[in-house]
Amino acid sequence: MRVLVTGATGMVGSFLLLRLLELNVCVRAVMRQQFFDFPLGIESVIIADISQETDWTLALAGIDVVIHAAAQVHVLDDSKKEQLSQFRSVNASGTLNLARQAACASVGRFIFISSIKVNGEETAPGCPFTEEDEPAPQGAYAISKYEAENGLRNLAEETDMDVVILRSPLVYGCGVKANFQKLLEVVDKKIPLPLGGIQNRRSLVAVDNLVDLITTCLVHSAASNQTFFVSDGDDLSTTDLLKRIGLAFGKPAFLLPVPQVLVELGLKMLGRGDVAMRLCSSLQVDIRKAEQLLSWLPPISVGDALLKTTKAYLEKVSK
């Protein structure tokens, strides 16, 4: 089997390449420019930009499965219209251009890494999203992912290539950046946080677990033309997550027991309603479909995944 991986230099892609090598899969990795040293045995190809104009002919030659993990995640434009245009260019138009060329190149399966944001930004506690729920994307990023999903499903009906869509919540693991890295930093530095009374529930997924489901979907017949949610199967409150990060570090998280309603009110008064949502709202996913159709269970626990994550973080900051 020959597999093409986009987004190969990112956290998910890098981990995925190593796992595919362990499975003795022939891998071709896509990168934007020649600056990344892939592990021995990985073939690389340069694709400068992903858009509706990109020529994937050389990258797709001889490929059996495409795993499309590349995405536009951030844009700098303040205009909502411009943001949506930029996200669509890569995440929707760029994805569908790749998929159409893959189908023409006789690729058998296209695995698309989407986002749980396609379903929405929050759930009521104890009421996780399921694959049968009506999507309700709110931001430009989520809308672009949803449009890509719809286009891929249409393409699967028109061609011999099947499609697998994986909707993921926040991914963490070795080399994690952005908001999760900030949580690691504040716990490591023992910075006091008024987050000792948060009672939400949020699904997360360790990169190990996400990659395990991706590789399960490589050849599993039941995955054909299906959408699956993925998580660690162990939903946590923000307070519990910080405590577990502290446990992984071997030091307690410095959490002040401020009532959740006051935390939300304070952040909204400061104009940080987006932060209040991420820290205080619930966002849960139900992974029973993957369990039932694919006999898949997350292979690594939250505790073990956080141990790996904090170890990698400490190694990085010590250099």
Percent of the chain with pLDDT over 70: 97
Sign of CA dihedral 12, 18, 22, 27: positive
Mean pLDDT confidence for 92-99: 98
pLDDT beyond 90 at 215: yes
Residue 141 annotated as catalytic: yes
**pLDDT of 80:** 65
**pLDDT of 28:** 95
pLDDT beyond 80 at 319: no
pLDDT beyond 90 at 144: yes
Domains of the chain: 2-168 (3.40.50.720), 172-203+233-319 (3.90.25.10)
pLDDT beyond 70 at 19: yes
**pLDDT of 2:** 96
What angle (nearest 5°) sits at the alpha carbon of residue 238, between those of residues 234 and 239? 105
- Residues in Cβ contact with 272 at an 8 Å cutoff, skipping those fewer than 6 apart: none
pLDDT class of 102 with cuts at 50, 70, 90: very high
pLDDT beyond 90 at 136: yes
**pLDDT of 98:** 98
**pLDDT of 140:** 92
Q: Report the 10 Å Cβ neighbour count for 154.
A: 12
pLDDT beyond 80 at 213: yes
Three-class secondary structure of residue 236 per DSSP: strand
Structure tokens at 5: 């991986």
Mean pLDDT confidence for 302-317: 96
Q: Are 43 and 3 in contact (CB under 8 A)?
A: no
Q: Which of 141, 146, 172, 313 is catalytic?
A: 141
The label of the residue with tokens 């190969």 reads 8
pLDDT beyond 70 at 16: yes
**Residues 33-47 pLDDT 10s:** 766 677 778 898 989
pLDDT beyond 90 at 104: yes
User: What mean pLDDT is reported for the chain?
Assistant: 94
**pLDDT of 38:** 78
Report pTM. Answer: 0.95
pLDDT class of 11 with cuts at 50, 70, 90: very high
**Residues 224-247 pLDDT 10s:** 999 999 999 999 999 999 999 999
* CA pair distance 236, 242, nearest whole angstrom: 10
Mean pLDDT confidence for 267-286: 94
Whose CA is closest to 66, among 150, 166, 164? 164
**pLDDT of 74:** 76
**Residues 150-198 pLDDT 10s:** 999 999 999 999 999 999 999 999 999 989 999 999 999 999 999 999 9
* CA pair distance 233, 288, nearest whole angstrom: 9
